[in-house]
């Protein structure tokens, strides 16, 4: 049993305007890099559309209806300065939700060891009643609630290592006592959320913001604290918001992570999952806007997900 790759193969239709950082080339870079990397017995699944009725229990129905009504027949509608709604945007976002929920089903049914969902647009900034930050639907939050409501999972952990705080995931899961949400992110950049004081309705949210310029050592310290809390939570399933924009070469943030930091963190999470989940991790692509970083770091992340057991990595210096 190996890893499942779930993606909208050949149907990346959310074509943002030229110069937009959340561009189609991101997904193309990820999929081409994965095609060039050898993964024994990798299972590939077309990302299905998510269940719209279930999505209405995740988001405010008025928010979903508003997005539907704003969708243009041609051209583009600006939701805000960053978030552009195109004719096929919601179809692409719905496939992200469907892909993440399929990943949950595959690992819970024992049809895949782990799953990686390569989709765009990202989802972790989409709040219950607001699209923002390139995001329209709360992909990972929806997958977590699917695991709880539809699959009977009692303890889920959602771990977000994107450079930007997953304010949408936090907003949707604020009252979800079955889901522990933790995030590291750069302090004082978009979306200007994620302070340590934001702890959720049940104390099940942990935010550890990092200073601009923080590198490997600060990353390891923060995630050591988070994973200690996850150990206490003893999750039956772990979901990842896998953003690669904390990398030192990313143009939209100021953290200084290196390639090896992402593999170290992935290995630590998988090691913990082996003890508690058991071994079940579903990872969803979020940010990451340097194509070279995506081409290197996503296959390395995927290689660990697809491996027979977590690899040990030395502590970052």
Residue environment code for 236-267, b if the CB has 16+ CB neighbours within 10 A, otherwise e: bbbbbbbbbbbbbebebbbbbbbeebbbbbbb
How many domains in the chain?
Answer: 1
Sorted by sequence, the CB contacts under 8 Å of residue 307 that are 6+ apart come out as: none
Residue 124 has pLDDT above 70, yes or no: yes
Is 188 inside a domain boundary? Answer: yes
Sorted by sequence, the CB contacts under 8 Å of residue 34 that are 6+ apart come out as: 5, 118, 298, 299, 302
Segment holding 267, helix H or strand E: helix 259-276
User: Which of 137, 203, 208, 138 has the alpha carbon at shortest distance from 176?
Assistant: 203
Is 314 inside a domain boundary? Answer: no
Catalytic sites, residue numbers = 125
DSSP symbols for 130-190: B-BTTBSS-HHHHHHHHHHHTT--S-EEEEE-SSS--HHHHHHHTT-TTEEEEEEEETTST
For residue 118, the model assigns a pLDDT of 97
Is 9 inside a domain boundary? Answer: yes
Residue 314 has pLDDT above 90, yes or no: no
Is 315 inside a domain boundary? Answer: no
- Express each pLDDT in 30-39 by its tens digit: 999 999 998 8
Mean pLDDT of the chain: 95
pTM of the model: 0.96
Provide the domain limits for residue 232. Answer: 3-306
d(CA 130, CA 286): 17
Is 191 inside a domain boundary? Answer: yes
For residue 32, the model assigns a pLDDT of 95
- Express each pLDDT in 33-91 by its tens digit: 999 998 888 999 999 999 999 999 999 999 999 999 999 999 999 999 999 999 999 99
Is 317 inside a domain boundary? Answer: no
3-state class (DSSP) for residue 203: coil
Strands 281-285 and 114-117 turn out to be: parallel
- Express each pLDDT in 244-290 by its tens digit: 999 999 999 999 999 999 999 999 999 999 999 999 999 999 999 99
Return the HEC string of 2-44.
CEEEEECCCCCCCCCCCCCCCCHHHHHHHHHHHHCCCCCCCEE
User: Which of 8, 10, 31 has the alpha carbon at shortest distance from 121?
Assistant: 8
For residue 315, the model assigns a pLDDT of 67
Please give the residue that has the higher pLDDT: either 310 or 290.
290
User: Which of 54, 134, 171 has the alpha carbon at shortest distance from 101?
Assistant: 54
For residue 312, the model assigns a pLDDT of 47
**What is the CATH classification number for the domain harbouring 63?**
3.40.800.20
Is 210 inside a domain boundary? Answer: yes
Is 46 inside a domain boundary? Answer: yes
pLDDT band for position 2 (50/70/90)?
confident
């Amino acid at each position: 049993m190996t890893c499942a790759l779930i993606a909208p193969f050949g149907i990346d239709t959310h074509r943002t305007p030229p110069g937009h950082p959340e561009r189609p080339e991101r997904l193309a870079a990820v999929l081409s890099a994965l095609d060039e990397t050898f993964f024994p017995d990798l299972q590939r699944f077309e990302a299905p559309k998510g269940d719209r009725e279930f999505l209405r229990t995740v988001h405010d129905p008025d928010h979903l209806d508003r997005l539907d009504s704003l969708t243009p027949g041609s051209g583009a509608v600006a939701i805000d300065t960053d978030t552009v709604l195109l004719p096929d945007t919601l179809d692409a976002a719905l496939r992200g939700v469907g892909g993440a929920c399929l990943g949950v089903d595959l690992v819970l049914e024992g049809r895949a060891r782990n799953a990686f969902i390569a989709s765009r647009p990202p989802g972790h900034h989409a709040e219950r009643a607001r699209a923002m930050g390139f995001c329209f639907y709360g992909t990972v939050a929806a997958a977590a609630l699917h695991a709880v409501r539809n699959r009977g999972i009692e303890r889920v952990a959602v771990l977000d290592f994107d450079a930007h705080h997953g304010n949408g995931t936090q907003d949707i899961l604020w009252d979800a006592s079955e889901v522990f949400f933790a995030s590291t992110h750069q302090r004082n950049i978009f979306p200007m959320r994620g302070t340590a004081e934001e702890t959720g309705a049940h104390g099940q949210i942990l935010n550890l913001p990092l200073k601009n310029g923080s590198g490997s050592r600060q990353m390891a310290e923060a995630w050591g604290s988070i994973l200690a809390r996850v150990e206490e939570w003893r999750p039956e399933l772990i979901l990842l918001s896998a953003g690669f924009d904390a990398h030192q070469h990313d143009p939209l943030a100021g953290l200084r992570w290196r390639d090896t930091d992402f593999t170290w963190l992935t290995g630590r999470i998988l090691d913990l999952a082996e003890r508690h989940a058991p071994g079940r991790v579903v990872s969803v692509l979020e940010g990451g806007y340097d194509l070279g970083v995506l081409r290197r770091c996503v296959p390395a992340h995927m290689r660990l997900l697809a491996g027979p057991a977590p690899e040990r990595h030395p502590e970052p210096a």
